[in-house]
Every structure is written in C-alpha cells, then in structure tokens.
Amino acid sequence: MPDNSQHTIKLKLSGKTFTSNKGETVLEAALRQGVKLPYSCKNGTCGNCKGRLLSGSVSYPIHPPLALDEKEKADGDILLCQAVADNDLQITVREIEAIKDIPVRMLPARVSSKELLSPNVAKLKLRLPKTQRMQFLAGQYIEILLPGGKRRAFSIASPPHDADELELHIRHVDGGDFTSWVFNELKVKGILRIEGPLGTFFIRHGSQRPMIMMGGGTGFAPLKSMIEYLLRKQSVRPIHLFWGARNLEELYCLDLPEQWERNFSHIQFTPVLSDPLAEDHWQGRTGFVHTAVIEDYPDLSAHEVYMSGPPIMIDTARHAFPAQGLADDRLFYDSFEFGADVPFEILAEPH
C-alpha cells in the first residue's frame, strides 16, 4: 500500500518526538527538526548512527544496513541514516547534547593557502567571511558543495579557537576528479562553497579517562584538531595517539605529533606503518594500527577511544576493541571514504 503519510518518531530516552516525511530517513528527519543524533558516513557503512527499534517497522530503500551484523539485526538495531519509517516508531539512540546549539551554515570560503604536506596530501586553508565565523567542535567536518548537488566531506584539522581559517588535509585520490582539481588547478584566492559543521565526532567531556586516539592516513586531521583544542585548554588528560599509514610518506606531518610527545608528558605518540618501503629505513612499529593499539592495551576497559580513518580500519576496530573490554559508549569514530568522486567543474574562478 503506498505510504504518503508522515510518521511520528519518538526517542525513548529523552521523550523527544519528531516527524518524518515520506521517503525521508530517520536521521534526515531528526536533523531537519534540530534533533541531534550520532552519524558519520551517512551511507550505511560505519554504524555510528545505530539505534534500537522498540516499536514500529522500517525499510531500507536506498542502501542495505551493511554496518549491522546478524546479531545486531536480530536484537532490533537499525541504522538511522538509511532507515525509513513504515509507520510510527519508538527508538532508543544516544542523543548528542553538545552540538544542539551549534548552527549548521552554508558559507563561501576563500582559499588562503595551499601547500603540499606530501606528494599525495595537500593542506588547504579556507578563510571565512569576516562577519560569518563558523562555530564547531574539534573533530567535526565540513562538506564542500559541488555542482549538481554533490558534496565532498573533509574533517577540519584546525582547532575551534582558530576560527578565522579552517584547515583541511586533502588526500589525492586516483580517479578522483575533485581531488585532482584541488591538486592541479585550485588556486589561492579561489572560492569554495561549504556547509558545516557536521558530524558527531567530538570529545566527550565529563570524563578524565585516558584517551586513545587512532588515525588512519588523513584521519589524523580531526585528531589534530582535538589535541590542539585540548592543549589550548591546558588539559592534562592522558592521550596516546596511534597514527597508521602504509609508508612513511603517508605520515605527512610526522614532526607535529613527535613534537607533542616531546613537549607534553601526558601525550604519547606511536606511528605504525603497514607497508614500509625499503627507502623508509623504518625502525618503528609495523602492521595494522588497530593491532598496535591492542598489543599495547590488551585491556581497554579503562579507556575512551577516538578513531578516524577509512571504513575498513574503523569497521575492523569497532568489532575488535569491544572484545578487549572497551564499552560501546566509550568508542567514538568518524569514517570516511577515499573513493573516486563525482564529475567536477570549477565553482568560482579565483579573483
């Protein structure tokens, strides 16, 4: 039977309700009405938006809920970024209070500098209009709006107190038109249109538990923002940063975390290479970065883990860490795709 009606969605823990329109996912409906729920990839692969269905039913017309395993499905878990309500729902999900008052805005941003951090990673600095700063939490991301309604997401690498300029780390993707354009054609003073801040990857305060931060490749960017923010706040909460990449060149600003470790006794840094090159002369840790975390912390029950990187890394760790005693509600992550992207054309010429 065709379903043209709105449905009411009730969040059990807070008692909040909102409505979904026909075809709208639960997450879209919530965000549209100012209800902040956790999410990251928005394509069904990271599991960040997981909630539990207490009553009602949902369908998945766009992508199947790939991030859910059979047990989670049998337990009634749903992915809110993909689930469309068939009828009224009642669900439980972690609500995100910290971002509820931060407006998401669409802004023009001028490229104020572009620098290669390695042959494959560019650092872009984007200057926002003087009267329109973007408030954000360390760890969040922005989307760059492309013609045809497409978007590309990039974590903000700079901390919130440097509000004049946003720093992005952009990895060149083979076959990625947008990243090729950034590397080869984008000029300083070019204008991009951005929307943000987005995402629910940010530091949960109210705990002094030691933090393990784990980044893969340019997944270092939001962790850099978090650490710089904590240093600015003079926090001495212990941090052990693990940064994984294939080879030395991909640890594109190794000096910075090495400096943190030298200068601050509460920060520890472990770089890990999965596939070092002979010319790297690598003497450090090798293998997968999540394995290095487990080797150093076979018992994770006292920690909080913040991780950011490609879906395969996140997915593996998200299943491996709970087996080491990490509670579900102490694991926070951001998952992003490096995949080839959409046809691209210049939005605005530099001027």
Q: Which stretch binds ligand FES (CB under 6 A): 33-41, 87-95, 166-174, 283-291?
A: 33-41
**Residue among 9, 11, 29, 49 that touches ligand FES (CB under 6 A):** 49
**308 binds ligand FES per the rule CB under 6 A:** no
- Please state, in angstroms and rounded to a whole number, the distance separating the CA atoms of residues 118 and 218: 11
**CB nearer to ligand FES: pick between 40 and 118:** 40
Distance CA 154, CA 217 (A): 13
H-helix or E-strand containing 261? Answer: helix 255-263
Q: Are 31 and 42 in contact (CB under 8 A)?
A: no
State yes or no: residue 41 binds ligand FES (CB under 6 A): yes
* Dist CA 318 CA 310 (whole Å): 12
Map residues 193-212 to x or -, x wherever contact with ligand FES holds by CB under 6 A.
--------------------
53 near ligand FES (CB under 6 A): no
Q: Order across the sheet with 239-245: list the strands.
A: 285-286, 267-273, 239-245, 211-216, 304-309, 331-335
Q: Would you count residue 39 as binding ligand FES (CB under 6 A)?
A: yes
Q: Among all residues, whose Cβ is closest to ligand FES?
A: 81
- Of 235 and 316, CB closest to ligand FES: 316
Nearest approach, Cβ of residue 258 and ligand FES (Å): 32
Cis upstream peptide for 197 (omega within 30°): yes
Rounded CA gap, 172 and 41, in Å?
19
Which of 39, 220 has the CB closer to ligand FES?
Answer: 39
Does position 25 bind ligand FES by CB under 6 A? Answer: no
Is 40 near ligand FES (CB under 6 A)?
A: yes
Return d(Cα 99, Cα 95) in angstroms, integer: 10
Report how far residue 274's alpha carbon sits from residue 288's, in angstroms, rounded to the nearest whole number: 6
Q: Are 116 and 99 in contact (CB under 8 A)?
A: no
Q: Does residue 42 interact with ligand FES by CB under 6 A?
A: yes
* Candidate segments 46-54, 130-138, 153-161, 218-226, binder of ligand FES by CB under 6 A: 46-54
Q: How far is the CB of 87 from ligand FES (least distance, A)?
A: 21
- CA-to-CA distance for 91 and 12, rounded, in angstroms? 6
81 is a site residue for ligand FES (CB under 6 A): yes
In the set 26, 30, 31, 79, which binds ligand FES (CB under 6 A)? 79
CB of 40 or CB of 155, closer to ligand FES: 40
Report DSSP state, residue 206: S
From the list 43-51, 132-140, 166-174, 340-348, the region that binds ligand FES by CB under 6 A is: 43-51
Residue 318 lies near ligand FES (rule: CB under 6 A): no
Distance CA 117, CA 169 (A): 9
Contact window for ligand FES (CB under 6 A) among 45-53, 190-198, 251-259, 294-302:
45-53
Check residue 30 for interaction with ligand FES (CB under 6 A).
Answer: no
Contact in structure between 227 and 267 (CB atoms under 8 Å): yes
Are 247 and 276 in contact, with CB atoms under 8 Å apart?
yes
d(CA 223, CA 211): 11
The binding site for ligand FES (CB under 6 A) comprises 39-42, 44-49, 67, 79, 81
